[in-house]
Amino acid sequence: MRPTLTQLHLALRQGRTSSVALTEHALDAIHRHREDGGVAFLQLDAESALAAAHKIDAAKHYPSFLSGIPISVKDLFDVRGQVTTAGSVVLKNEPPARQDAQAVARLRAAGAVLLGRTNMSEFAYSGLGLNPHYGTPINPGDPTRIAGGSSSGAAVSVAQGMSAAALGTDTGGSLRIPAAFCGLTGFKPTARRVPQQGCLPLSPSLDSIGPLASSVSCCAMMDAVLRVGGTPALSQDILPSLNGRRLYVSEDYVADQLDPAVAQAFEQALSRLSRAGAKIIRFDFPELRQIADINAKGGLVAAEAWRWHHARLTGKDGSSYDPRIARRIRAGASQSAADYLDILEQRRALQAVATRRLSMADAWLMPTVAILPPTLAELEDDATFTRLNSLVLRNTSIINLLDGCAVSLPLTPQIGLSVSGLYNRDHHTLKLAASIESALAHA
């Protein structure tokens, strides 16, 4: 059982451990991981991490839940003095960042010990987590399977005890997919809840910054720091009862092509929540099938990624991209200004429909991912990669398109439950997800 941030914080305050001890333990785990061929971390900053831990211990004061806690950072964020490569060789010769990304600065100000940069899908543009440049982080429960992406190294760093929590991003599921596949909790906040300054963009309309951790409370603590840049006090919130809570379950689109194991775990979870007093309300949401048309030419992601990447892709760096990622980005070149504006209008219309259909819902539940983690072997085939990447991203990307928020909770070590809310329902969704987490644990 991985310790939560609350448990680690109390152990620090009570003198049962130290930041140096926690950091050394994390660094030892990273070294063992690397010796075994693991590639969760692209860059390790052991010297700076230990110096920060010693400084925090010397002060004998741990005001924040993150004070003295080892945290990993996805290789999409600027960290002063380091090169942000975004999991690509294209950027490896860029100058080091002159300042921290705002999210990184807020973690540092809260006393977090930053261990290093974690591996990822190149430029965050895949839900599968493969990286042909630096190697692919593998599933901690099954070395023949993927960890999920794009925040693959972030998830493995937490799942294997190399960090207490991880900073990542989510444009279509990049926090929640690896959370589901690695038995973790991931929180995708409403876009722009956390400032994006200093984080390399994929699709600014959809990008969100959030945490991967061991529990909902851990994610909420990370979110409190990332959102306001303060040092959160110990929360005294009492978890809301599930009695009478209206949990909506759509039976079309998100339930298509479910692996039998996923379907069984999901229905068992619904039964346990019903016994805990929740009202499970099944409904149809046929308009979700319009998403295939919205994404026919690559959707918002391809259009906005092409804007950032087109100069490099059409220049001397083009051949250095992962061909699968390059192909997806180049789809944006086929979109006209009218196409892009049409997508924005279709998005607004779908958001309006969602607001009506979910007006009485306390939360919208669905399997985080429709299938179990694919094997590395089957993803060697390009057609299979494309098909499974779309299927893995299908459920999670709905919430990004709707500009909502979602928590993925582990049902099994490789299956997740998504607890979703609409725009700016983050605080409510986190609290309700914590109640659902508790109910599932005690059912």
Per the structure, the count of domains in the chain is 1
Residues 164 and 158 sit within 8 Å (Cβ to Cβ): yes
Cα separations in angstroms, 200 against 95, 105, 150, 311: 14, 15, 13, 16
User: Is residue 235 predicted with pLDDT exceeding 70?
Assistant: no
| Spacing of C-alpha 339 from chain mean position | 29
User: Is 365 part of any domain?
Assistant: no
Confidence of residue 239 (pLDDT cuts 50, 70, 90): confident
User: Is 277 part of any domain?
Assistant: no
User: Is 415 part of any domain?
Assistant: no
Residue 80: what are its φ and ψ, rounded to 5°? -55, 135
pLDDT tens string 28-44: 999 999 999 999 999 99
Residues 262 and 418 sit within 8 Å (Cβ to Cβ): no
Does residue 150 have a cis peptide bond before it, meaning omega lies within 30 degrees of 0? yes
Tell which wins on pLDDT, 240 or 4.
4
174 is an active site residue: yes
User: Is residue 105 predicted with pLDDT exceeding 80?
Assistant: yes
User: Is 280 part of any domain?
Assistant: no
Q: What is the percent of the chain with per-residue pLDDT over 90, rounded to a whole number?
A: 96
User: Is residue 236 predicted with pLDDT exceeding 90?
Assistant: no
**CB neighbour burial string for 252-280, b if at least 16 within 10 angstroms, e if fewer:** ebbbeebbeebeebbeebbebbeebebee
Confidence of residue 230 (pLDDT cuts 50, 70, 90): low
User: Is residue 440 predicted with pLDDT exceeding 90?
Assistant: yes
334 is an active site residue: no
User: Is 143 part of any domain?
Assistant: yes
User: Is residue 333 predicted with pLDDT exceeding 60?
Assistant: yes
Confidence at residue 426, expressed as pLDDT on a 0 to 100 scale = 96
Question: Choosing from 174, 214, 397, 408, which is the catalytic residue?
Answer: 174
Confidence at residue 237, expressed as pLDDT on a 0 to 100 scale = 62
User: Is residue 229 predicted with pLDDT exceeding 80?
Assistant: no
User: Is 329 part of any domain?
Assistant: no
Confidence of residue 442 (pLDDT cuts 50, 70, 90): confident
Confidence of residue 1 (pLDDT cuts 50, 70, 90): confident
pLDDT tens string 293-330: 999 999 999 999 999 999 999 999 999 999 999 999 99
Q: What is the model's pTM?
A: 0.97
In which domain, by residue range, is 182 found? 5-228
User: Is 39 part of any domain?
Assistant: yes
SS (H, E, C) the chain: CCCCHHHHHHHHHCCCCCHHHHHHHHHHHHHHHHHCCCCCEEEECHHHHHHHHHHHHHHCCCCCCCCCCEEEEECCECCCCCCCCCCCCCCCCCCCCCCCCHHHHHHHHCCCEEEEEECCCHHHCCCCCCCCCCCCCECCCCCCEECCCCCHHHHHHHHCCCCCEEEEEECCCCCHHHHHHHCCEEEECCCCCCCCCCECCCCCCCCEEEEEECCHHHHHHHHHHHHHCCCCCCCCCCCCCCCCCEEEEECCCCCCCCCHHHHHHHHHHHHHHHHCCCEEEEECCHHHHHHHHHCCCCHHHHHHHHHHHHHHHCCCCHHHCCHHHHHHHHHHHHCCHHHHHHHHHHHHHHHHHHHHHCCCCCEEEEECCCCCCCECCHHHCHHHHHHHHHHHHHHHHHHHHCCCEEEEEEEECCEEEEEEECCCCHHHHHHHHHHHHHHHHHC
Look over the chain and give the mean of its residue pLDDT values, rounded to a whole number: 97
pLDDT tens string 120-134: 999 999 999 999 999
Question: Choosing from 19, 64, 67, 150, which is the catalytic residue?
Answer: 150
User: Is residue 233 predicted with pLDDT exceeding 50?
Assistant: no
Residues 6+ apart with CB under 8 A from 96: 80, 81, 82, 83
* Number of C-beta neighbours around residue 96 at 10 A: 11
Q: How far apart are CA 401 and CA 416, in angstroms?
A: 20
What tokens does 150 get?
Answer: 């794009």
Taking residues 350-369, what's their average pLDDT? Answer: 98
CATH of the domain at 209: 3.90.1300.10
User: Is residue 81 predicted with pLDDT exceeding 60?
Assistant: yes
Taking residues 349-376, what's their average pLDDT? Answer: 98
User: Is residue 234 predicted with pLDDT exceeding 90?
Assistant: no
User: Is 352 part of any domain?
Assistant: no
